[in-house]
Structure 1
Amino acid sequence: MIIQELGWVKTLQGLIVPRMFSAFGTFLLRQFFLALPRDIEDAARLDGANLLRAYWHIARTLAKPGLIALTILTALWSWNDLMYPLVVTTDADGGIDHGGRAHGRRLRPAAAPLRPGHRLHRQGMTA
């Protein structure tokens, strides 16, 4: 309903934006940030950094493995989901509109683009 009101039916925004935010992602990153040492933030505050600067330069850098893990998990879940893209890209008369493109060429194994981040993913899952 919301995607239709925003005019995102049959668009990339309708497929991507709703999947960017999830309760699992919020929980995973919350737990990851709670596990970060508080002493590092306190040291940054003593050095004169405000809260935003301490987050941007310290916490965000330390949370990179958690962000990579969340990105990989979200990409895999979206890759495996069939119904949502079908609902968003279906015409009103029930036909599927793919714009005449050959989608078979765009299907690639899900693991191929994730290979470079494997080490950070493993760090993020074990932290």
Structure 2
Amino acid sequence: MTQLATFTLADHLFGVEVSRVQEVLRYQPSTKVYLAPEAIGGLMNLRGQVVTSVDLRRRLSLQPRTQDAEPMNVVVRVDGEVVSLLVDQIGDVVDVADDVFETPPSTLSAAERELITGAYKLQDRLLLALDIDKAVDVG
């Protein structure tokens, strides 16, 4: 059994291991970093700590969010560093059985398939397991 913190991007449901999540936050303003890769959403101040934000919509080559839609932040730990993932909406923590885990569906785009370790078949939808390490590697 695996516990995943879930969030949505476009019409997709994603999950990351709960143990990697530090916290989830409403939108926090960030400062744009010029000449940074397109997937970098900016730098934000998290209680005095400068944290890089990765816009997962851009990282997964999804349509940009509308101007009036504010993203939410899933703050995760990667190699001892804190990184914020910009997502559309925060979901629940779910328990998933390992026996419903499958390889990434062929219907995903190449960009999505590169960052997805697999999918869990839930009762009413598919939960895509995000590889956080690859997702934040935008260099």
Report the TM range for the smaller structure's normalisation: under 0.3
* Bigger radius of gyration among the two: 1
Larger RCO, structure (CA 8 Å, separation 6 or more): 1
Structure with higher helix content: 1
Structure with higher strand content: 2
